[in-house]
Amino acid sequence: MPTPPADLPIDLDLVRALLRAQSPGLADLPLTPFRGGWDNVHFRLGDSLLIRMPRRRLAVDLIRNELRWLPTIAPHLWGATPVPAFEGAPGQGYPWPWAIVAFVPGTPAGELPVEQRAEAAEPLADFFSSLHTPAPLGAPENPVRGMSIDRPELDQRVRERLTRLEDGPRAALTERWDAWRHAPEWDSPDVWLHGDPHPYNMILDDDGRLAGVIDWGDLTAGDPACDLATAWLTFDAPARRVFVDRTNLYGRFDTATWDRARAWAIHLGLIFALESDEPGLRRCGEHALRETLAEPVHASALLTA
């Protein structure tokens, strides 16, 4: 899963030209490159804004989903959300929509040691409680997040990745994968999902508490277990206990949901650990696999008591 190449070059001159043509009131603000990702290039604009531009054709629908839905969802969410402040149009040789969004200041949780993320556990549970509400018809579909974890094609991919592990971890993770993926399916209405809440998409303030959640390109609707898997990607056991207890205060999720969340954690952990070319995401995946390995196979009672 190496970072895919960009479909076209995006540089400061292009961004400045787009600003002058479409938002001249912002065109003279300081403009600097910022963290990029698989799908988008980012530029800081002044002190409070961020420009978000697809770098691949495959990402165009993702930013359209953000532009369409985030303004509707964000007012109901706990914590800061990079709501689009301006919708950019194709121009100056750039063929796709782009966005200026609110910048969420702070430190990505993935850049901090796991033990320093504990203060984010309760706020993250509150964030998901505010997000995981029934989604309307027409909510974005996503081919890789939010659907059933118990699908033959996904099982095949997980088993292929498991073969790359040493015998002991492979056998233990296979046992857990087989137990947890067969949990009863989500049978309530589809809820809104962030889709990709790994620790590099969670921004913490100076006190280690959750300031906001960024990168909404995988926004979709479906089974909340997909999002709840971050309990194993992001936290150690004590903080995860806090996160689960806080989440269970809202009374929505049964033991089967937590089983599916652990299965999602194995699936995502294997992707990050084995196939990412980003060192931070590899560490995130390795952490998730260690955390799932440390739990008994039938751990639901421990999580929901």
Check residue 250 and give its pLDDT: 83
Check residue 36 and give its pLDDT: 74
CB 82 within 8 A of CB 214: yes
> Which residue is associated with the tokens 């989440």?
247
CA-CA distance, 27 to 59, in Å (whole number)? Answer: 25
- Mapped onto helix, strand or coil, the DSSP state of residue 298 is coil
**Residue 272's closest CA among 263, 286, 285, 261?**
285
Q: How many helices (H) and strands (E) does the chain have?
A: 11, 10
- Mapped onto helix, strand or coil, the DSSP state of residue 80 is strand
- The 10s digit of each residue's pLDDT in 221-235 is 999 999 999 999 999
Residue 126 has pLDDT above 80, yes or no: yes
Contacts of 205 (CB under 8 A, 6+ apart): 106, 211
Residue 299 pLDDT level (bands cut at 50, 70, 90): low
In this prediction, residues 199-212 reach a mean pLDDT of: 95
Residue 305 has pLDDT above 60, yes or no: no
In this prediction, residues 13-26 reach a mean pLDDT of: 97
Residue 304 pLDDT level (bands cut at 50, 70, 90): very low
Q: Is the dihedral of CA 179, 231, 41, 191 positive or negative?
A: positive
- The 10s digit of each residue's pLDDT in 66-81 is 999 999 999 999 988 9
CA-CA distance, 277 to 270, in Å (whole number)? Answer: 13
Residue 290 has pLDDT above 70, yes or no: yes
- Kindly tell me the burial class for residue 32, based on how many C-beta atoms sit within 10 Å of its own C-beta (0-12, 13-18, 19 or more): exposed
Pick 301 or 161 by higher pLDDT.
161
Q: Beta strands 84-88 and 98-102: pairing type? A: antiparallel
- The 10s digit of each residue's pLDDT in 244-267 is 999 998 877 899 999 999 999 999
Residue 1 has pLDDT above 90, yes or no: no
Residue 213 has pLDDT above 60, yes or no: yes
CB 195 within 8 A of CB 184: no
In this prediction, residues 5-31 reach a mean pLDDT of: 95
Half-sphere exposure of 253 (CA within 13 A, CB side): 33
**Residue 36's closest CA among 52, 19, 18, 56?**
52
Length of the chain: 305
Residue 302 has pLDDT above 90, yes or no: no
- The 10s digit of each residue's pLDDT in 78-116 is 988 999 999 999 999 999 999 999 999 999 999 999 999
Check residue 300 and give its pLDDT: 56
In this prediction, residues 115-142 reach a mean pLDDT of: 96
Check residue 169 and give its pLDDT: 96
Pick 272 or 2 by higher pLDDT.
272
Residue 22 pLDDT level (bands cut at 50, 70, 90): very high
Report the chain's mean pLDDT, rounded to a whole number.
94
- Helical H segments across the chain, by residue range: 12-22, 60-73, 121-131, 152-162, 167-181, 225-228, 230-234, 237-248, 255-275, 279-293, 300-304
